[in-house]
Amino acid sequence: MVFPFMSVEDFKINLSEEHEIFRKSVREFVESKLMPIWQEVEQTNKIPEEVLKEAAELGFFGVGIPEEYGGQGGGQLLTAILTEEVSRAIPSLAVTIGVNHLFAVPVLLYGTEEQKRKYVTPIARGEARGAHANTEPSGGSDVAGIQSKARKENGHYVINGRKVFISGAADADYLVVSARTSPPREDKRWWGITVFIVEKDTPGLKIGQQFRVMGMRGEQPYEVVLEDVRVPEENIVGPINEGFKVIVSTYDHTRIGIAAQAVGIAQATFEKALNYALQRELFGQRLIEFEMIIEKLADMYMKLEAARLLTYWAASLADEGKREFIVAASLAKAFATETAEWVARQAIQIHGGYGVDVETGVERYLRDAIITTIYEGTNEIQRLTIVRQLVRQAFGLKI
């Protein structure tokens, strides 16, 4: 039974030799450039500029972006592989790359040809950076609850509002910003939101405090304040008053990247736990000879591979343009991020006291994993999306 999908063929994962060649090239960069600096990133809360420059030169910022707009192409699956490999070493670098996609995806899906060439092309080439400013103090998962306002004035829109927890905001050259251009309708609470491209040097746009969140050191989020920010009409992305669809469909695509981050985190912590269990002796035996450790490692590995398969599957469906990818993306995001949190917790337990020692680099993955369960739609929202999409696909009903 394949309910609610159309056929068993929907469960294909379209991997090729090119994907493996690409993965190996990213792994080489990760092992030689990222693994040696994870402590520096944790201590300084900053990714070195030379690392970002090399990642740009290797084309990482353009993976998943069409070649006609300066990207490397490759779609969601190639992007997931890149994100997973980078997250094995420094998950926050995967965030740095990912926030550029959070800017580029809505423009690619809904923007004009001029917008794509003007804004997406330099981002894909690593010549500029983007960010996505949607979350507000009132909440982020409730996109329809956006309170920032934009009023039309002489061919421009004047935006006022405050955004919070915006990754990459301090270094962004362009931001996608959501604001209300009309009040919501009684029958359509989501109605009235519009999406704009705001350039960094626009008067009235201010980058506020940096939020000291528990993980993702190297790419922690910022506050963005908009005070009478004037944006030309040509910078509107998608239909006026229908920006809710622009934002939500963006997350349908980009949450696959969060699942891939989680897979990378789970992979790293599993590897550390397995290696430690092989080397550590206790009561005259190696840890891996204890039945409870064997059970932990087996369960960690099962969950890890299940998370990877879900993530690659969701990416394959998205690359094929199948509507079913939406529910698969939510399945992958919720399962993979919760797997990463659980696997990291088990890895700490296997390491004992060394697991909570920051110098060993194990506990940081748990901090990062917890964050993946929250951003780009909490896992509670993913469960809501799963059931809504299931009922819509199977019965044509809305709940």
Active site residues: 376
**Token pair 């910078």 is at which residue?**
235
Q: Strands 285-286 and 222-232, how do they pair?
A: unpaired
Cα dihedral 124, 376, 310, 25 sign: positive
- The answer to whether the CB of 177 falls within 8 A of the CB of 159 is yes
In this structure, which amino acid lies at residue 150?
A: A
Residues 6+ apart with CB under 8 A from 348: 355, 356, 362, 363, 366
- The answer to whether the CB of 298 falls within 8 A of the CB of 346 is no
Residues in the chain: 399
CA distance 275 to 165: 36
- The answer to whether the CB of 99 falls within 8 A of the CB of 131 is yes
